[in-house]
Chain A
């Protein structure tokens, strides 16, 4: 059994008296030593999926309305709030997109790491501080002995994200969820932070879910990829297989809309149309209004996930590389 198993996850948002599903039928699993990438445009539900796994949706008007999530064999949705909290920051940790605002500005970074440590480990203040310095050293913050007493505003964006990583790793999590961890950082720093995460994975075997809108980042770092569109997983595959076939028209569209420096083009191949809004009703395949391959069947029948190769699932009637 995989470390994390998500089955048919449905997440809905409350609009007045109505519950509108924003994530539907999402299934995937992650195991130790594995990195799963979830990719998709803004608003496709990838961050909500991450927050749902972590248990941080509470109080936001958004909640899980269906499906199952099992972590280490235990049903996450059946747990009490206290049990969830025991896992949060302990067996499961999260890194967020905005390193500039994700640390509390009034506490020293060391104290914020110590707080995470003391929440789950029975450590004395001195031992926790020693461990915090070790962690800062591990995430390659220079002079960790003095940086431990810095306030967040005294650190750069990259350093703050390293502190976030140190905090997330403080209790040796089995699963690390990174929601756009490098989006807010300079390109040069991006690579360092990603390398650092993968390096730490090699040492500890932590499973990683990396959420990004950047296919390049995903291609470089992940074992498998899940492509999300309008709350659904439209294609799931091992990274190599995915980039080889680009079976779903949306996946293909995403890749082609990345400007390439070695190609001289006048026109960027953006996907035509727009992402449907929440609660919009679309008959058939939700991608058909924007799809170059759409036929009448796509307008009437919702595609079910099908396996076009071992481990390669596509929700499309007419995937590339499939039989027409």
Chain B
């Protein structure tokens, strides 16, 4: 297992190189240059040229890439053109929000999606399945911006129970209680994702329930609930695991709309804003981090497979 993990981590290196090259290329393909955006409409061509030189953007592309790569290898992602602070700090600020938000969302997804999916599969075709399946379809279709705004209207504006926007860091005053800022956004994000997990759990369980070994389990005289959880859900979990992994990665990196609705300083919004600002170092840095995150989660999913299914051996 340890050997396998090390091998997999080493295999990430070429993938990472390819990914950084692509990112670098694409970022520089975006029309417009940071210097003129930073200086605004009133800047003279001389000022723009001076800033371009200062930022190192007058070098050939491959030189810029090698310089950037060399710095990255030393742990230096560069300095944000817009904020003037190290990219690493900018990303770390966003990552705190995004990772906490994604984690809390995952808790809702598991808490709601898994049990409802199991109940739905166990009662296939009955009214309870029709209600949950219909509900899941509804929540999967609701746009997050709409759901987010209505949750704000109800719980923040109407009832006044929860804050409507922003997220002070856990290190700010308030500490852990600051997590309440993330309740509404995480519920918003959880709704469509939990709906998908409900459908997925239900479908995988129905697949497994047709397998011969489930009949063996029933023939032992086990209670239907035990058959459903120990034999059907347990085996269905193998195919649901990948969905959990990639949902988490997507929640960290792609929650742009929800972050915007709730004014959260997350990674998703950081990417979009940095692209608008042509903040090359930040875009490159964030995408690098997201690529690493995806590869890492991919590895975790594979390790989880091996834990869940003894037929898979890691060699």
Binding site for B on A (CB under 8 A): 54, 56, 85-90, 93-94, 96, 98, 101-106, 112, 115-116, 119-120, 151, 153, 164, 167
Contact = CB atoms under 8 A, between A and B. Distances in A.
Nearest to A154: B310
Contacts of A85: 221-223
A115 B222 contact: yes
A103 B310 CA distance: 13
B220 A115 contact: yes
A56 B215 CA distance: 8
B132 interface: no
B212 A101 contact: yes
Given A151-B311, A153-B310, A153-B311, A102 B220 contact: no
Interface in B189-247: 211-213, 215-223, 230-231, 234-235, 238
Given A88-B218, A115-B230, A119-B221, 11 more contacts: A88-B219, A88-B220, A96-B215, A102-B216, A103-B213, A104-B231, A115-B220, A116-B221, A119-B220, A151-B310, A164-B216
25 contacts: A56-B218, A86-B221, A89-B219, A89-B222, A90-B221, A94-B219, A96-B216, A98-B212, A101-B211, A101-B212, A103-B213, A103-B216, A104-B217, A105-B235, A106-B234, A106-B238, A106-B308, A106-B309, A112-B216, A115-B220, A116-B220, A119-B222, A151-B310, A151-B311, A153-B311
B310 A105 contact: yes
Given A89-B221, A94-B219, A120-B221, A102 B213 contact: yes
A104 B233 CA distance: 12
Contact of A93 (B219, B223, B235, B309): B219
Interface of B: 211-213, 215-223, 230-231, 234-235, 238, 308-311
A167 B220 contact: yes
Chain B residues touching A, majority SS = helix
A169 B145 CA distance: 59
Contacts, number: 68
Chain A residues touching B, majority SS = mixed
Most chain A beta-carbon contacts within 10 A, residue among B216, B308, B309: B216
A14 to B, nearest CB: 12
Contacts of B230: 115
A56 to B, nearest CB: 6
A102 B223 contact: no
A104 B230 CA distance: 10
Contacts of B238: 106
B221 A87 contact: yes
B73 to A, nearest CB: 42
A102 B309 contact: no
Contacts of B311: 105, 151, 153
A94 to B, nearest CB: 5
